[in-house]
Each structure stands twice: as C-alpha cells, then as structure tokens.
Structure 1
C-alpha cells in the first residue's frame, strides 16, 4: 500500500459547503478538534445552509474534502468559527485558500473586521493567523472544556 499525498492548494477547489458534505466535515472536526468538535446535528445545519448568518466552505480535490471553514456575519463583523484541514493536507496552502475565500465573502457582505478565537496553546494556528494579519485583542480565560484559554484575534477585512 502506498501513502496518498494530498494535492497543493492550487489543485484543491474551494466551494460552498452543502448538506452532502456533512459526514466529511464531521470527520474533519473529530480528527482535528476532538472534544471541541461540534455535534453532527449542528454541522449538518452549518454546511446545509440552514443558518442564515453562517457560511461554510470546503476545499476538495478528486472528490475528497480536505478542509473546511465556517464563519458568521452580523452587520459589519464577521467571526471565523472553524478552520480545519485534514492532517495529510496541512502545510499546502489549503487553510490559507479557505481563509481568503471566507474573507472575500465577509468583504462582499459588508464586514469591516473579522474576529476569531484560537487556543492559547496552539502555536501553529497562532503563527498562521499572525501571518494572515490577525492581531491579539483579548483573552477568554478557561474557554475550552479542558480549561485552556482562548485568545481573541482580529483583523480588518481587505477592501476590493
């Protein structure tokens, strides 16, 4: 058996998620977030488009969902709620492609800034978001089930 390598981001296509993506997105959540994963029911609503302020995107190649992002928009503020990429597909630009697509949706909807929370102990994600222009604006102590704090990050939405 040979290991299958994941394609680079330019080979992955970012598109809006649909209800058909629920199982793949749930598997990504479980593998990437463990105890912090959303329930299958909530994920079905998120990717199925039944929550009016929530937008979900997936990155796929050869019919395989490699990552997904979900965010919400309230008036002029967008919140990135999820950004998960499958382990073998990481460090190939897929997370950045998903983030850029979500930022584009936020811009088109009139958002002026984007907020997100990231685990304080997640150095890789913190470096990724810093490179994408996010800055720390606050802390939510003991935010996660295991007692870890969340850092609140923010960036402006790029103009057209």
Structure 2
C-alpha cells in the first residue's frame, strides 16, 4: 500500500468510496472539490492505493495551532487491514508539521469500531453534538493533543 496526495483526477474513485461508506450523509463532489481547492493552504488530503487502485482517502483542515480530521474512508473489503491507520498516521504527522498542537474530529455515536480506533490513537472524548448527522445521529467530539508519544 502507498499513500499520496489526492488530486482532482482521483474524485471518481473517491466519490464511489464516499457514497458507499456514508450513504446517508455523503459529501457531494462539489464539496470535495472545494476541499481540494484549499490544498495545500488549509487542507491536506491523501489517497491510499493498493495495486494502483484507490482503496481509501482521508483529509484534514489545519489552521494556526489546531487541525480537524475532515474525513477518513476505506473500501469495505480493505477495512481492518491497516489502511485507515496508515492514513490517520499521515494526517497526524501533517498536522504536526503544520504546527497544530491538537487535532479534533467528530465520529458517529453509532460507530463503536471507529470510536475504538480513535481511542487507540490517543483521542479522548470531549463532547457531544446532538443530531449532528443528517439522519439525526449524534456525533462524539474527540481531541488528541499532538506530540503525545503514548499514542501509536
């Protein structure tokens, strides 16, 4: 597997993964293009490739001393193989390079697997956004201080 920066040419594959991973609240292609338009100024997006096929993507927004995980998605048949962890490590490293001292994210309250992954990476729950997602599901707000050597 290899990671590289996402480009506009990646959007057809990325949008297929987006729609299959987040069927109830998928971003539009226009939203994703808007994110890419802010690279590298305030955004950093990567794609994960296996045998030259995009199997995942992830991105952050970073400004001043704070970063936010915008999205992480992996094709279903590649989940649990380390693809998501590799992308999250890349995002954490990029946030640190950009001078962020902490990184935030929202995760669905009904997704215990993703919550466990983030806890494993040193994130802590700091709040709740009620009915945050389009289907009314709550979001758990999580934060990790960067430079914490106790996390993977």
TM range (shorter): over 0.9
Q: How far apart are residue 106 of structure 1 and its match?
A: 0.4
The one-character-per-residue Cα deviations of 1:78-113 (angstroms, maximum 9, x if unpaired) are: 000100000000100010000000111100000000
The one-character-per-residue Cα deviations of 1:113-158 (angstroms, maximum 9, x if unpaired) are: 0000001110110011111111000000111111111000000112
Stretches of structure 1 that go unaligned for 5 or more consecutive residues are 1-11
Question: SS of the residue aligned with 2:119?
Answer: helix
Aligned residue for 2:37?
50
Structure 2 distance, partners of 1:144, 1:35, is 9
Does residue 59 (structure 1) correspond to residue 48 (structure 2)? The answer is: yes
Q: What are the residue-to-residue correspondences of 1:2-21 with 2, within 5 Å?
A: 12-21=1-10
Question: SS of the residue aligned with 1:34?
Answer: coil
Stretches of structure 2 that go unaligned for 5 or more consecutive residues are none
Structure 2 distance, partners of 1:45, 1:141, is 26
Q: How far apart are residue 159 of structure 1 and its match?
A: 6.7
The answer as to whether partners of 1:76 and 1:111 remain within 8 angstroms in 2 is yes
> Which of 132, 135, 138 is 1:149 aligned to?
138
Question: SS of the residue aligned with 1:107?
Answer: helix
CA RMSD between the two structures: 1.3
**Runs of 4+ in structure 1 displaced over 3 angstroms?**
none
The two structures have a TM-score, normalised by structure 1, of: 0.88
Question: SS of the residue aligned with 1:36?
Answer: coil
The two structures have a TM-score, normalised by structure 2, of: 0.93
Aligned residue for 1:107?
96
Which one has the largest radius of gyration? 1
Question: SS of the residue aligned with 1:106?
Answer: helix
